Amino acid sequence: MEADTNKDKELKEIAPILASIPKEVPFTVPANYFDNLSDIISKNVIATELSAIPKENPFAVPANYLDELPEMIALNIAATQLEGIPKENPFSVPANYFERLNSEIQDKVIASKRKEGFDWVGLLLKPKFSLSLITVALALVIIFKFSTNHNINNDKFAFSMKEVVNSGELNDIDESTIIETLSANNKPNSIPKQGEIEKYLLDNNVDESQITGQL
Amino acid sequence: MAAEDYSDKELLEKFRNPETQHYAFNLLVKQYSKRIYWHVRKIVIDHDDANDVVQNTFVKIWKNLGEFREDSQLFTWIYRIATNEALSFLKQKKTKFMIPFGDVEYELSNNLTADTHFNGDHIQLKLQRAVLTLPEKQRLVFNMKYYDDLKYEEIAEILKLTVGGLKASYHHAVKKIEKYLLEH
């Protein structure tokens, strides 16, 4: 107390204005600041202790786990989304499809086995091949027929003179013409006399066309 | 039990025991937090800044209390840490905001009127502005002597100065403040 009184005296002597001002601290603090200050300081201290601990990760993961993790997450998300979609089959088939399917498969199996030997039937069924074959066959037929007709026409020549003679056509042909024709064909020795023309033509197989050509 | 119920020695023994370490520290905080806060507040002026400095101070106490050599009182050791933290804070503020040396106090003085946690009248405002015109060391001495009523021996321990030098500093500080109050 005495010391305080001395201090006040000393202050009044050297600084009277200062000594007259109330010794108050003019600052304030937020409400409950000091009530919470101890807790705040303790938390700070704990945080400081934690920060002093080396930040090493004591945990390990399987090899490539982190590299594959994004993909696994994406798959899981996709699976979750798929779960929300009803499992319905949106496709349909023609009527009695499955009933017929078995027999169709069997047929195809058999058909495939045929292909192992030469498939003549299949070949014949091909339009191009069959068309070519038909064309060749027709050509052969035409050639054959043509050659047959030619022989028949030669025989006609053999009978035609007889027919000419029998039909009396010779009567229409001038005898001098017939004789000239025969002479031109170098048959002088046997030039028939008139009246013997018919017999001569028949006996000597004279080509009718030589005579008829003069008409 | 409160911290004041333990001697410095007992409190330190409890702190050095891992089982009672946190208990002892909590007692220390409860005993000194308010006092340290006002000491720091008078240096940095702003409440939020003071709060930051107080937090840093006690974290530092926690880290170093185990190595306290007991060559001074625990209280003066704590005060020294708080003072150094407050002065470091002001130095960082000068560097951060590129404020010229000595102009920080001018900035603090200007902030007094805008401070929501200042409820002094015009006389108190004038006094605070007067104190902020003092050189750093004189301001500390004045605050610890005038407001905290510490003994010169204790202030000497805190600031690592001689008692005689402190008395002279205080005397000069008082004179300057008186002159300021007279002229403004």
Report ipTM for this prediction: 0.81
Indicate the SS3 state at residue B99. Answer: coil
Residue B121, pLDDT score: 81
Chains A, B: CB contacts under 8 A, how many?
90
Residue B27 CA from chain centroid, whole number: 20
Q: Inspect the interface and report whether the beta carbons of A18 and B33 lie closer than 8 Å.
A: no
Average pLDDT on A54-81 reads: 82
Query: Out of A17, A24, A45, whose CB is closest to B124?
Result: A24
**pLDDT at residue A3 above 70?**
no
Mean pLDDT value of segment B154-158: 94
Separation between Cα atoms, residue A161 and residue A61, nearest integer Å: 122
Sign of CA dihedral B97, B101, B103, B109: positive
Residue A23 has pLDDT above 60, yes or no: yes
The candidate with the shortest Cα–Cα distance to B107, out of B136, B137, B83, B129, is B129
Q: What confidence score (pLDDT) does residue B41 get?
A: 92
Q: Six-digit token pair at B153?
A: 């021996």
Q: What is the mean pLDDT of residues A21-49?
A: 90
Neighbour tally for A112: CB within 10 Å: 9
Is residue B127 less than 8 Å (CB to CB) from chain A?
A: yes
CA neighbor of B81 nearest in space, from B45, B10, B28: B28
- Which pLDDT does position A4 carry in this prediction? 63
Question: What is the maximal distance between C-alpha atoms in chain A?
Answer: 208
User: CATH topology of B1-99 equal to that of B120-184?
Assistant: no
* Residue among B87, B101, B104 nearest B158 (CA): B87
* A2: confidence class by pLDDT, cuts 50, 70, 90: low
3-state secondary structure of B1: coil
Using CB atoms, pick whichever of B30, B38, B128 lies closest to residue A38. B30
Look at B103 and A175; give whichever has higher pLDDT.
B103
Asked if pLDDT for residue A96 goes beyond 50, the answer is yes
Using a CB-CB cut-off of 8 Å, the residues of chain A touching B124 are 21, 24, 26
Q: Are B170 and B135 in contact (CB under 8 A)?
A: no
pLDDT for residue B15 is more than 50: yes
Neighbours of B161 (CB within 10 A): 17
Residue A21 tokens, joined: 């001002």
How high does pLDDT run on average in chain B? Answer: 88
Q: Tell me how close the Cα of B4 comes to any Cα of chain A, in angstroms.
A: 16
In angstroms, what separates the C-alpha of B19 from chain A's closest C-alpha? 15
B contacts of A21 (beta carbons < 8 Å)? 123-124, 127, 181
In this complex, do B55 and A27 lie within 8 Å of one another by their Cβ atoms?
A: no
B59 contacts A30? CB cut-off 8 A: no
Q: Does the structure show a pLDDT above 50 at A157?
A: no
Helix orientation angle between B74-96 and B152-159, rounded to the nearest 10 degrees: 50
Q: What residue ranges do the domains of chain B occupy?
A: 1-99, 120-184
Chain B hits for A40, Cβ within 8 Å: 55
Q: Chain A interface, mutation test: which of B41, B56, B62, B167, most A Cβ atoms within 10 Å?
A: B62
Residue A209 confidence (pLDDT) above 70: no
Domain B1-99 has CATH 1.20.120.1690: no
Mutate to test the interface with B, among A20, A33, A41 (most CBs of B within 10 A): A41
Specify the higher pLDDT residue, A32 or A161.
Answer: A32
Higher pLDDT among residues B116 and A100, named by residue: A100
Q: Is the model's pTM score more than 0.90? A: no
Question: So what's the pLDDT on residue B76?
Answer: 94
The reply to whether CATH 1.10.10.10 applies to domain B120-184 is: yes
Picking from B25, B124, B146, the nearest residue to A26 by CB comes out as B124
DSSP letter (8 states) at residue B161: -
